[in-house]
Amino acid sequence: MRGFSDILPPASRRWGMLEERAREVLGGFGFSEIRVPILERAELFSRGIGEETDIVEKEMYTFEDRSGDCITMRPEATASMVRAYIEHKLYAADPLVKLYSIGPMFRHERPQKGRHRQFHQVNVEVFGVSQPMIDAEIMAILMHYLSLVGAAGCRLQVNSLGCPNCRLPYKEILRAFLKNHLPRLCEDCRRRMERNPLRAFDCKVPGCREIMSEAPLISAYLCAPCAEHFAAVRSYLETLEIAYEVNPRMVRGLDYYTKTAFEVVAGELGAQNAVAAGGRYDQLVAALGGPDIPGIGFAIGMERLLLILPDEPLSSGPSLFIAALGEGPRREAFSLSYKLNRAGVRTLIDYEGRGLKAQMRRADKFGARYALILGEEEQRTGQAILRDMKEKKQEEIPLSSIFEEIIRRVKGRSP
């Protein structure tokens, strides 16, 4: 289907590497993995994301199931994770909960480079902390992860979207500005002007972008608590030596954001250049029926991240190929291969009974570092031949200790 893709080897190994590194980094900072359903009630997203957003208005996969319930394939993970936080009372023992999820999202939009109708995200959420220190910490964690996986040229951009106390008056000021330029606005921005004028900052139409370059900025209208919070976030980023840029025209496409908003952009991606994005959502838990508990989080777009990673092949070949000749040696190779794979030494054997030359060609084709030659003569003498395929050297090793010898050579330790 258009906008949906298979992820095949060897690309799937790169996906696995990104997910494994995410689990390592986030686990090290005290986050626990949560797995939420792909299908949710549609009202969760209309209430959580906002009915006036492009996601809810144009992009969600929403349908009635056989029971007549209105169901949506999740377009983002935060609303689902908040729903789970509330439904299972994860706040009961302590409001502070740190969660992450990895999985697919679904939006019906025009497929393009780095943007698919089924796409994948790493989502990170922290509940129960309102202090600006946590804002800086999760941005630092994000930048650490991107650096660890080799994503070069990424820039962190930050802004404050204020709170309802300062954002509502600002929206009226922005709406008045847009009305003065109404004839030049695109159809979408005319609609946004009435419903959510901040979304006009996201418009990609050149005429609208030119207009918005002169628009009043929310930074000039922040209330004192929001201005103090944003100053503290920047100060804590500097304490952690995290480079950042203030982008006063950056807004987020979801209505639930308050105060801190941020994106990580990469110039290689063109107009759609955000690799990761997030922000604070202090009213969302209460808006979805939970207690008044603040939250903050971010999402990393896996497809976009892969586009900016260096194209370095990951090692996928076996450590050992066992070339066995004869029924008895084949049976011994079969048993030894199973034991070695179970011990973490990737081992392949030939199942078809090919000749030695054909098996050695396969060992070379698969990129095996070592090849073990085992035939009836080797069984009789009790000595198998271990060939180093890289160094083009071989030696005899005793069959009585072959498992231990291979573990020692391949893994560099005793079994």
Side-by-side strand order, sheet with 393-398: 347-349, 320-324, 370-374, 383-388, 393-398
Q: Tell me: the pLDDT tens digits for 211-230?
A: 988 999 988 999 999 999 99
Q: In terms of Cα–Cα distance, which of 324, 318, 367, 366 is closest to 345?
A: 318
Q: What percent of the chain has pLDDT over 70?
A: 93
Give mean pLDDT, residues 26-53: 87
Output the pTM of the full model: 0.85
Give mean pLDDT, residues 16-30: 95
Q: Tell me: the pLDDT tens digits for 84-115?
A: 999 999 999 999 999 999 999 999 988 877 78
Residues of the chain with CATH 3.30.930.10: 11-163+223-308
Give mean pLDDT, residues 242-271: 83
Residue 232 is predicted with a pLDDT of 97
CATH fold of 11-163+223-308, please?
Answer: BirA Bifunctional Protein; domain 2 (3.30.930)
Residue 46 is predicted with a pLDDT of 83
With helix as H, strand as E and coil as C, how does the chain read? CCCCCCCCCCHHHHHHHHHHHHHHHHHHCCCEECCCCCEEEHHHHHHHCCCCCHHHHHHCEEEECCCCCEEEECCCCHHHHHHHHHHCCCCCCCCCEEEEEEEEEECCCCCECCECCEEEEEEEEEECCCCHHHHHHHHHHHHHHHHHCCCCCEEEEEEECCCHHHHHHHHHHHHHHHHCCHHHCCHHHHHHHHHCHHHHHHCCCHHHHHHHCCCCCHHHHCCHHHHHHHHHHHHHHHHCCCCCEECCCCCCCCCCCEEEEEEEEEHHHCCCCEEEEEEECCCHHHHCCCCCCCEEEEEEEHHHHHHHCCCCCCCCCCCEEEEECCHHHHHHHHHHHHHHHHCCCCEEECCCCCCHHHHHHHHHHCCCCEEEEECHHHHHHCEEEEEECCCCEEEEEEHHHHHHHHHHHHHCCCC
Residue 1, Cβ density class (10 Å: 0-12 exposed, 13-18 middle, ≥19 buried): exposed
Q: How far is CA 227 from CA 164, 165, 236, 255, in A?
A: 13, 12, 14, 20
Residue 141 is predicted with a pLDDT of 97
Give mean pLDDT, residues 21-35: 96
Given a cut of 60, whether residue 415 has pLDDT beyond it is: no
Residue tagged 């258009």 (tokens): 2
Residue 54 is predicted with a pLDDT of 63
Q: In terms of Cα–Cα distance, which of 168, 203, 171 is closest to 283?
A: 168
Residue 191 is predicted with a pLDDT of 82
Residue 89 is predicted with a pLDDT of 97
Measure the CA–CA gap between 235 and 137, rounded to whole angstroms.
12
Q: Higher model confidence: residue 253 or residue 213?
A: 213
For 162, residues 6+ apart whose C-beta sits below 8 A from its C-beta are: 170, 218, 221, 222, 223, 226, 258, 259
Given a cut of 80, whether residue 70 has pLDDT beyond it is: yes
Name the pLDDT band for 203 (thresholds 50, 70, 90): confident
Given a cut of 90, whether residue 51 has pLDDT beyond it is: no
What burial letters (b/e) apply to 267-282, b meaning 16+ CB within 10 Å?
Answer: eebeeebbbbbbbbbb
Mean of all residue pLDDT scores within the chain: 90
Residue 129 is predicted with a pLDDT of 96
Q: What percent of the chain has pLDDT over 90?
A: 69
Residues of the chain with CATH 3.40.50.800: 320-411
Q: Tell me: the pLDDT tens digits for 76-91?
A: 999 999 999 999 999 9
For residues 115 and 303, the answer to whether their CB atoms sit within 8 Å is yes
Name the pLDDT band for 200 (thresholds 50, 70, 90): confident
Q: In terms of Cα–Cα distance, which of 316, 341, 411, 368 is closest to 14?
A: 316
CATH code at 320-411: 3.40.50.800
Residue 414 is predicted with a pLDDT of 42
For residues 347 and 319, the answer to whether their CB atoms sit within 8 Å is yes
Q: Tell me: the pLDDT tens digits for 140-159?
A: 999 999 999 999 889 999 99
Sign of the CA dihedral with 349 first, then 355, 357, and 362 last: negative
